[in-house]
Amino acid sequence: MANNLVIVESPTKATTIKSFLGSGYKVVACQGHIRDLPKSTLGVDLENDFTPKYINIRGKGDLIAELKKDAKNADKVFLASDPDREGEAISWHLQKVLGLEGKPGGRISFNEITKPAVKNAIAHPRSIDMALVDSQQTRRILDRIVGYKLSPLLWKNVQNGLSAGRVQSVATRLVVDREREIRAFVPEEYWVLTALLETPQEKEFAARFYGVGSKKMPLPDEKSCSEVLRSLENAVFTVKKVESSMKSKHPAPPFTTSQLQQEAFKRLGFPSKKTMRIAQSLYEGLNLGKHEEHGLITYMRTDSLRISDEAREAAKQVILAQYGEKFYPEKPRVYKSKGASQDAHEAIRPTSPAKTPESLKEVLSSEQYRLYKLIWDRFIASQMVSASIHVQNVEIEASCGDGKHYTFRASGENTRFHGYLKVYGELREEGENDSVTGGKLPPVQEGDPLKRKEIASKQNFTQPPRRYNEASLVDALEEKGIGRPSTYAPTLETILNRGYIARDKKQFVPTPLGEVTNDIMEKHFATVVDYEFTANLERKLDDIAEKKEEYLGVISEFYGEFKTLLEAAEKELSEQGKVLLPQEELDEVCPNCGRRLVVKSGRFGKFAACPGYPECKTTMTLDRDGKVAAPREKEKEEIVEGMVCENCGKSVVLKSGRFGEFYACIDYPKCRFTRQKAKKIGVVCPKCGGEIVEKRGRKSVFYGCDHYPECDFSLWDEPTGETCPECGQLLVKKKNGKVVCSSKECKYKES
């Protein structure tokens, strides 16, 4: 029997793919990159054609040794990392480290993790695409040069721990530029007149003041508004013109990465990082019961709108079966990608449209279900017929006693045929709908007299542009051609974690640190943070992948200009001295030294601190209003009888922390001994008869026997205390509320 090895990136994907292949295949995970540039040095030989100096990633020695052993014993080795540039580079590194040159097998890739796709890929291996590898290496080298050359400059001249990045600096600039627009914005006053009118059939509707005849007349202040109101006191309102038409609303295409992130934020409230994490789990595959493993969506990092003919036909069958022939267009819908997109992948879609969200609800977590439904709905809607909308525009003449004739206008829409809206309704932006537009107007005809019920005036002011949020910032990055689908979420995460921007409710605002850093970048490295330059560099990376550019030429051209800017900046900043960050002072003073406390930002948000750090290390929490919170009274810590510190032998006390109560040495934090206080749940351990307790691991809560380490029984899901009627094992409650058997072999679920 053949002995074949398949190397994928994640253990979850390995489990799914193993279920598709026979016993002659071993599927293992490399867990991402096994080789990278060193963290301690630049790792790029600037004097020798920018040669990268790769090393095996620390901590992966045992994994690499195991992979080498598996590869040596295999007849064929298939490299099945993700189908993008990063995945191609991972396969190339595996080939180099494991010595696979000339080994039977090769590189395989698939856009979806389904049995037909994997089988087809195994049957058609290829060689590694070095153009894709060169493109990835170019991006990695450029990012390393910018990061490792600029970051020390910021440490020296602003503050320690800062970093600069080729894409993150541009993303920060977007937020800073928007904030500057908001600060510079001067609101302009304007007034709105709205008339509530009644038709001869006693139906009311609202119309808005437009002007005189077909000429628009602005109302810039209260005086001009009052003059019009005086003229309208005894005005006679008549329908002057009625225009009716039918328009078609077409469905949006299936999701690209950026569109998925934007819609998931708007409709589900998911940040980009969360969206991509959930999408990854849907792509890699889930246990669907009856021993079936299946990837539910296609690859989630793409900017292509293309879908396969098979997927289009599958969508058609779903639409015909669930909605009928009138919901499917005469010609199948085909969407064209934007010019800069890479069409190697399909758009994000369900791998099997026949697997509806409702049919998978029991096997998906709540978050997986909601995201899968969003993807499924969007894809099915993209293949449906357009909606038919009846649009009505009404022009009303107000004839005044002083001889003036003013125009009011109203418009309304009425959906005559929902089409794709039956599946994927449109999301209205805040303030988009009002009393004058968007609703259905009552039937009126030209010449109809209208009864005036009320005329209301309202003062308004023009509004500044909105701050960016997760959705709009991703949209701006994509529109300007900055970054690629795989970089949007990590870029936002980086500039948030670095403290360059912060969340204010759901909007992004630049921090003082972000503004100062951006000012330095704009002044000394204008090219690096220039929108068009960054977009052009992204296009060159695409050209390398398509063999239109040489990677060495792109790096050399960039570094030549960058080196000149760097030398000039180092000289000027050294003469200027360290940049002082602006600090927000508070009314409260430091209880230790008397200085006025200032606001600082940390990993968990803003806090109050003494400006005398490091001599004075006073810190205090802030409440929601940004004021120093009153200190909580320290609870008396009681000594726990019969328990001593395992480190120093002193007494142990019970404390309270972020994750509940825990035991600690009486000398804590000088002595670091701690142990979580287990929470009893009243369930007997089926293995030893002890008691199962709730515990906390590094990432989440789990349940284990209180006789550990003598008994190692543990569960991730909460045991109910009841036994399975089919196999006798414990029943557990999943996070989605479903009660299932804890045994992997038993498929029992409570109905």
Instruction: Let me know if residue 662 belongs to a domain.
Output: no
Of 357, 382, 407, the residue at which a domain comes to its end is 382
Which one-letter DSSP state was computed for residue 251? P
Confidence of residue 523 (pLDDT cuts 50, 70, 90): very high
Read off the pLDDT of each residue in 537-550 and give the average, rounded to a whole number: 94
Kindly state whether residues 231 and 154 are assigned to the same domain. no
Segment 207-234 shows an average pLDDT of 95
One domain, residues 308 and 413: no
Domain at 34, CATH number: 3.40.50.140
Q: Does residue 747 belong to any structural domain of this protein?
A: no
Residue 133 falls inside a structural domain? no
Q: How confident is the model at residue 661 (pLDDT cuts 50, 70, 90)?
A: confident
Please say which residue of 461, 479, 508 terminates a domain: 461
- pLDDT band of residue 602 (cuts 50, 70, 90) is low
Q: What's the pLDDT at 636?
A: 56
Please give the mean pLDDT across all residues of the chain. 88
Q: Where are the beta strands (DSSP E) in 299-371?
A: none
Same domain for 446 and 492: no
Long-range contacts of 198-203 (CB under 8 A, 24+ apart): 198/450, 198/451, 198/452, 198/453, 199/442, 199/443, 199/444, 199/448, 199/450, 200/448, 200/449, 201/442, 201/443, 203/442, 203/443
Beta bridge partners of residue 195, listed in sequence order: 207, 455
The burial class, CB within 10 Å (0-12 / 13-18 / 19+), for 463 is exposed
Q: Are 376 and 282 in contact (CB under 8 A)?
A: no
What is the C-alpha to C-alpha distance for residues 345 and 162, in angstroms, rounded to an integer? 36
Q: Give the per-residue pLDDT at 291.
A: 60
On the question of pLDDT at 751 being above 80, the answer is no
| Whether residues 430 and 511 fall in one domain | no
Catalytic residue (choose from 25, 210, 299, 372): 299
Instruction: List the single range of 14-28, 102-116, 708-722 with lowest mean pLDDT.
Output: 708-722
Mean pLDDT of 90-95: 96
Q: What percent of the chain has pLDDT over 90?
A: 62
Q: 368 and 425, same structural domain?
A: no
Q: Is 299 a catalytic residue?
A: yes
The residue type at 750: E
Q: Write b or e for each residue in 23-37: b if 16 or more Cβ atoms lie within 10 A of its Cβ, otherwise e.
A: eebbbbbbeebbbbb
- Scored b (16 or more CB within 10 A) or e, 683-720 reads bebbeeebebbebeeeeeeebbbeebeeeebeeebbbe
Residues 38 and 107 occupy one common structural domain: yes
The answer to whether 599 and 626 are in contact (CB under 8 A) is yes
Mean of pLDDT values over 164-182: 94
Q: Residue 559 pLDDT > 60, yes or no?
A: yes
Name the DSSP class of 297.
B
- Mean pLDDT in residue range 594-622: 80
52 falls within a domain: yes
Contact 730, 685 (CB under 8 A): no
* Domain assignment present for 629: no
Q: How far apart are CA 193 and CA 195, in angstroms?
A: 7
Say which CATH number the domain at 167 has.
1.10.460.10
Tokens standing for 247?
A: 């328009």
| Average pLDDT rounded to a whole number, residues 251-267 | 95
Q: Are residues 216 and 158 in the same domain?
A: no
Six-digit token string for 255? 């999701």
In a domain, 639, yes or no: no
Q: Residue 172 region, left (φ>0) first, then alpha (ψ -120 to 50), else beta?
A: alpha
Let me know: does 654 contact 640? Beta carbons within 8 Å: yes
Same domain, 377 and 404: no
Which pair of structure tokens corresponds to residue 593? 């030294």
- Print the domain residue range for 123: 4-128
Both 38 and 104 in a single domain? yes
pLDDT single digits (tens) 433-474: 443 445 789 999 999 999 999 999 999 999 999 999 999 999
Residues 395, 456 within the same domain: yes
Of 547 and 584, the one with more pLDDT: 547
Give the percent of the chain with pLDDT over 70.
93
> Does residue 627 lie in a domain region?
no
Q: pLDDT at residue 573 above 90?
A: no
Mean pLDDT of 406-413: 95
Given a cut of 50, whether residue 430 has pLDDT beyond it is: no
Q: What is the pTM of this model?
A: 0.77
Final residue of a structural domain among 331, 353, 382: 382
Evaluate if residue 655 carries a pLDDT over 90: no
Q: For residue 95, how many other CB atoms are within 10 A of its CB? A: 21
Contact (CB, 8 A) for 738 and 749: yes
Q: Which band of pLDDT confidence, cut at 50, 70 and 90, is reported for residue 666?
A: confident
Q: pLDDT tier at 198 (50, 70, 90 boundaries)?
A: very high
Q: Domain check: are 20 and 111 in the same one? A: yes
Number of domain units in the chain: 6
- Both 33 and 114 in one domain: the answer is yes
Residue 418 belongs to a domain: yes
Contact (CB, 8 A) for 334 and 233 = no
pLDDT of residue 49: 94
Q: Are 705 and 685 in contact (CB under 8 A)?
A: yes
Name the pLDDT band for 731 (thresholds 50, 70, 90): confident
Which of 177-191, 419-433, 643-657 has the least mean pLDDT?
419-433
9 pLDDT band, cuts 50/70/90, is very high
Residue 224 has pLDDT above 50, yes or no: yes
